[in-house]
Amino acid sequence: MDMPVFAAVMTGPGAGAIATIQLCGDSAQTILREIFRRKGDRPCAGAQGEILLGDIVDNGLAIDEVTVGCESADTFAIHCHGNPILVAAIMELLQRHGAQSVLSEQLLARVFARQEPHDAIACEAKLALATVKTIEGAALINHQVNAGLSARVRYWRDHLDSLPLEEIAAEAGDILRHSEPARLILSGGTIALVGPPNTGKSTLLNTLAGREKAIVSDVRGTTRDWVSAEILLPPLAATIIDTAGLDPALASADIDQAAQQRSLEIVARADLILLVLDLSQPADQIATDLTESLAHKRTIIVLNKADLPPQFDPGNLPPPPRETVRISAQQGHGIGDLIGTIHRVCHVADFDPRTPVAFTDRQMHLLELLQQSESQTRARSILSELLESPVAVEK
Ligand SMILES: Nc1nc2c(ncn2[C@@H]2O[C@H](COP(=O)(O)OP(=O)(O)OP(=O)(O)O)[C@@H](O)[C@H]2O)c(=O)[nH]1
Ligand SMILES: [Mg+2]
């Protein structure tokens, strides 16, 4: 099938020394010859592996000196100067000559999709590599390209006649189970700091973020609008959100009520809750609203201010039993223990990067269908879809 010519800016936005524009498609070479004049008036052969130096020319005027990497007969990388005005001018020129402007990930999806043999999971893995949040995530996703999920699905397809469907369903269930911690390693999770006022939530955010992001004071109700920070707790990447302290006594004013409502909404969306309590205060600090909203959430109880004489009896904590860590956010004590507990509770400690995992909604949905499939014919069609369907770029 003919592929129209696509052009995409492959480098990030903003000024830089160099920017790269990728041009690919059946008549990419024709367009290149129209807009590129090689130094020394030499012909622009564009054979695979060549690197050409020359000018991008618009109406006889050179607008930038560039190098062109000829990656294949129909794929070229134009390395121009990184001034956004030049990049925009070259993109506009390419469009005038018939190229279609697309986003970098859309262009990559098209390039990967044409590689033989086509493997949709491998394409999705290569695309995901551009957005993984941790080095461990990069190792995990790299493994899915030729091994991992891709290899497992091919194995099921090739041995479908001799494999019991229950065995495939059980293995698909394992993969889906591992995909949840994998998601936290690949894309990062959300950790919410919640609890009564003045327990040290903002202090803990600052300690974990390594900088003074949130305002700390001994006034109850200091934090109203939530504050967030991106942190790396390898192999985990997380957005940590500091919320307004939850206290019915504070919620009488409209503004505090709105702040507390927002805290509960953040709790509902978070992957992990750190319930921060003050070890130096009696145990009647936790609002009923909060206990109810935490009932089904993955939660760690953080007993802060362990540097002060304790007044709190952890035996009085509401059920269910949870992992509990004692820290002093102010002094930085117990933070290593807290991070270890976060890893354990999120099942990312010692996560083997060779584990097959699903890492797109499409893969998860198809694995769920595979688990339920009751005939070989149905299983075969799901497996082909997993490997062969065109790759959509999620935006
Ligand atoms: N001794 C001691 N004091 C702490 C510790 N952590 C926080 N504090 C103090 O406790 C007070 C409240 O801290 P914040 O971090 O503002 O508490 P918060 O939970 O964010 O409070 P709100 O935003 O009002 O809900 C401040 O005076 C902090 O310096 C700790 O580990 N030990
Ligand atoms: Mg605060």
Whether residue 264 lies inside any domain: the answer is: yes
My answer on whether 212 and 317 are in the same domain is yes
**295 in contact with ligand 1, CB cutoff 6 A:** no
Average pLDDT over residues 245-258: 65
105 pLDDT band, cuts 50/70/90, is confident
Whether residue 21 lies inside any domain: the answer is: yes
Quote the pLDDT of residue 256: 64
Tens of pLDDT along 299-345?
Answer: 999 999 999 999 988 887 877 889 999 999 999 999 999 999 999 99
Query: How many whole angstroms separate alpha carbon 348 and alpha carbon 57?
Result: 53
How many angstroms is it from 48 CA to the middle of ligand 1? 62
Give the orientation angle of helix 361-372 with respect to helix 376-388, to 10 degrees: 170
**324 in contact with ligand 1, CB cutoff 6 A:** no
My answer on whether 197 and 336 are in the same domain is yes
Query: How many whole angstroms separate alpha carbon 195 and alpha carbon 286?
Result: 7
How many angstroms is it from 303 CA to the middle of ligand 1? 12
**305 in contact with ligand 1, CB cutoff 6 A:** yes
My answer on whether 73 and 213 are in the same domain is no
Whether residue 326 lies inside any domain: the answer is: yes
Judge whether residue 216 has pLDDT over 90: no
Judge whether residue 362 has pLDDT over 90: yes
- The most distant pair of C-alpha atoms in the chain lies apart, rounded to whole Å, by 84
The CATH number of whichever domain residue 58 belongs to comes to 3.30.1360.120
Quote the pLDDT of residue 249: 64
Query: Which residues are within 5 Å of ligand 2 (an ion), measured at CB?
Result: 202, 222-223
Whether residue 77 lies inside any domain: the answer is: yes
* CA-nearest residue, atom 21 of ligand 1: 198
Order of strands across the sheet with 189-194?
227-233, 236-242, 189-194, 272-278, 299-304, 323-326
Judge whether residue 387 has pLDDT over 80: yes
- Whether pTM > 0.75 for this model: the answer is yes
Quote the pLDDT of residue 46: 75
360 pLDDT band, cuts 50/70/90, is very high
- Bigger pLDDT: 24 vs 285: 24
* Nearest ligand (C-alpha, residue 335): 1
Which of 204, 212, 216 for mutating ligand 1's site (highest number of atoms within 8 Å of CB)? 216
Quote the pLDDT of residue 87: 97
Whether residue 281 lies inside any domain: the answer is: yes
Whether residue 160 lies inside any domain: the answer is: no
User: Containing domain of residue 19, as a range?
Assistant: 6-110
**304 in contact with ligand 1, CB cutoff 6 A:** yes
Judge whether residue 394 has pLDDT over 60: no
**212 in contact with ligand 1, CB cutoff 6 A:** no
My answer on whether 90 and 213 are in the same domain is no
CA distances from 153 to 164, 206, 225, 268 (A): 15, 44, 46, 34
Judge whether residue 223 has pLDDT over 80: no
Mean pLDDT score of the chain, rounded to an integer?
89
Query: How many whole angstroms separate alpha carbon 32 and alpha carbon 26?
Result: 12
* Contact in structure between 63 and 35 (CB atoms under 8 Å): no
**201 in contact with ligand 1, CB cutoff 6 A:** yes
Tens of pLDDT along 58-99?
Answer: 999 999 999 999 988 889 999 999 999 999 999 999 999 999
The CATH number of whichever domain residue 332 belongs to comes to 3.40.50.300
How many angstroms is it from 200 CA to the middle of ligand 1? 3
* Nearest ligand (C-alpha, residue 203): 1
Domain count, the chain: 2
Tens of pLDDT along 7-44?
Answer: 999 998 888 899 999 999 989 999 999 999 999 877 77
* Contact in structure between 119 and 387 (CB atoms under 8 Å): yes
Quote the pLDDT of residue 245: 73
